[in-house]
């Protein structure tokens, strides 16, 4: 984006802006309340994707990039945990409300509205549920990790609890990590592949944990967590019927695939050796500094610092002067990743020349 302002945003303003993660799910029922207003009716189920992929990039361009770092006491502010818990509750309640609305059937919910509802829930699952869970599973507190895993059960991806901190963080930017895409790779191959391989890896890690505790490998925690996911689906079927159940399943799988698209964006084309003792550096994740997106996403775009300091809470994450910078905002990057020729044209020129696609699914690099 040309002529994007660069500013030092006030730390207190940024702390208040984190509440956007709590408010975003409420846009869905808000659309229902406003659906009788002129010009809103046909868009009322689409406010969230329109907001994320149209209004947010525009607002990012107007508000600009944030070049300030958090104050020293930001990591000890108890309010940041309250925001995480509030965002968890906001997402869960809106998901329940949406499933109840969908259960009313085609007479009450048109195909167009159902499509908007589905796309909205997929994005809320990826942007709120999984992102909040991502923050919580990195915590030392057991109850916070449990809340994070419960969120992951709601999107059928509890394996993320194990595979993200123990595999992705250890193997990021290497060919051993399915979520780190090589240069020239196609997101339509990489995202489903990463989803499947990470699910499998999660069960393998859990089986190893069970054997170390003297239990059979099949009797592991992933069996219990995925059993809870299936239990939620069964409860939805019994209480709300097949249409709501289908929506529940689609939003969960869609949110997990959206996570892998975001992972594709975050590490595209960045490589390091797969050697014992090799550690990821700031140069192995794409950063972004657009203030509004960073606030809404709980500083996820300060991704390089997160990988170097995975235990650092989101308000304490710092910008990096050495990490590669995404040339566009996060949500626009996700959209462009879904258009591979445009994505390759945008990103390949920003990669070091020595990078090469070495994984399956990659197009040849001249």
Q: What is the mean pLDDT of residues 34-53?
A: 91
Residue 170: the pLDDT is 94
In the chain, where do the E strands start and end? 6-7, 65-66
Residue 129 DSSP one-character state: I
Residue 362: the pLDDT is 39
Q: What is the CA radius of gyration of the chain?
A: 20
Q: How far apart are CA 231 and CA 150, in angstroms?
A: 12
Residue 75 DSSP one-character state: G
Instruction: Reply yes or no on whether the pLDDT at 16 is more than 60.
Output: yes
Residue 366: the pLDDT is 28
In a domain, 357, yes or no: no
In a domain, 211, yes or no: yes
Residue 95: the pLDDT is 98
In a domain, 117, yes or no: yes
Could you tell me which residue, 146 or 350, shows the higher pLDDT?
A: 146
Residue 74: the pLDDT is 65
Q: Residues 232-291: pLDDT tens digits? A: 999 999 999 999 999 999 999 999 999 999 999 999 999 998 777 778 899 999 999 999
Instruction: Reply yes or no on whether the pLDDT at 137 is more than 50.
Output: yes
Residue 320: the pLDDT is 83
In a domain, 245, yes or no: yes
Residue 356: the pLDDT is 42
Q: Counting beta carbons within 10 angstroms of the beta carbon of residue 176, is it exposed (0 to 12), middle (13 to 18) or buried (19 or more)? A: exposed
pTM: 0.93
Q: Residues 96-131: pLDDT tens digits? A: 999 999 999 888 899 999 999 999 999 999 999 999
List the domain range (segments joined by +) for residue 124.
6-350
In a domain, 49, yes or no: yes
Residue 71: the pLDDT is 81
- CA–chain centroid gap for 86, Å, is 17
The two structure tokens encoding residue 170: 């250890």
Residue 296: the pLDDT is 97
Q: What is the mean pLDDT of residues 348-354?
A: 77
Total domains, the chain: 1
In this structure, of 54-58, 221-225, 274-278, the range with the lowest mean pLDDT score is: 274-278
Confidence of residue 339 (pLDDT cuts 50, 70, 90): very high
Residue 11: name the closest of 335, 333, 294 by CA: 294
In a domain, 190, yes or no: yes
In a domain, 268, yes or no: yes
Residue 310's CB is within 10 A of a number of other CB atoms, namely 13
In a domain, 64, yes or no: yes
């Amino acid at each position: 984006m040309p002529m994007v302002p660069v500013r030092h945003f006030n730390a207190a303003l940024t702390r208040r802006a984190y509440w956007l993660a709590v408010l975003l799910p409420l846009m869905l029922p808000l659309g229902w309340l406003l659906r009788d207003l002129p010009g809103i009716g046909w868009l009322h189920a689409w406010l969230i994707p329109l907001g994320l992929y149209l209004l947010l990039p525009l607002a990012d361009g107007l508000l600009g990039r944030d070049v300030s770092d958090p104050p020293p006491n930001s990591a000890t502010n108890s309010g940041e945990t309250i925001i995480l818990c509030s965002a968890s509750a906001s997402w869960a309640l809106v998901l329940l409300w949406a499933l109840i609305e969908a259960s009313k059937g085609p007479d009450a919910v048109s195909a167009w509205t159902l499509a908007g509802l589905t796309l909205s829930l997929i994005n809320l699952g990826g942007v709120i549920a999984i992102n909040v869970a991502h923050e919580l599973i990195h915590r030392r507190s057991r109850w916070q990790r449990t809340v994070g895993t419960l969120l992951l059960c709601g999107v059928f991806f509890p394996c993320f609890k194990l595979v993200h901190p123990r595999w992705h963080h250890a193997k990021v930017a290497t060919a051993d990590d399915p979520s780190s895409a090589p240069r020239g790779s196609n997101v339509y191959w990489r995202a489903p592949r990463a989803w499947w391989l990470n699910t499998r890896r999660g069960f393998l890690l859990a089986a190893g944990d069970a054997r170390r505790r003297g239990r059979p490998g099949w009797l592991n925690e992933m069996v219990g967590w995925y059993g809870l996911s299936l239990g939620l689906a069964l409860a939805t079927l019994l209480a709300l019927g097949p249409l709501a159940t289908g929506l529940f399943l689609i939003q969960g799988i869609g949110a997990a695939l959206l996570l892998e698209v975001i992972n594709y964006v975050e590490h595209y084309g960045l490589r390091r050796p797969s050697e014992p003792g090799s550690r990821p550096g700031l140069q192995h994740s794409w950063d972004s500094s657009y203030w509004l997106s960073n606030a809404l996403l709980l500083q996820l775009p300060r991704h390089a610092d997160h990988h170097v300091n995975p235990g650092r809470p989101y308000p304490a994450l710092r910008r990096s002067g050495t990490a590669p910078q995404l040339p566009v905002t996060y949500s626009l990057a996700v959209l462009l990743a879904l258009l591979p020729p445009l994505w390759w044209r945008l990103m390949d020129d920003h990669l070091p020349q020595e990078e090469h696609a070495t994984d399956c699914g990659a197009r040849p690099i001249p």
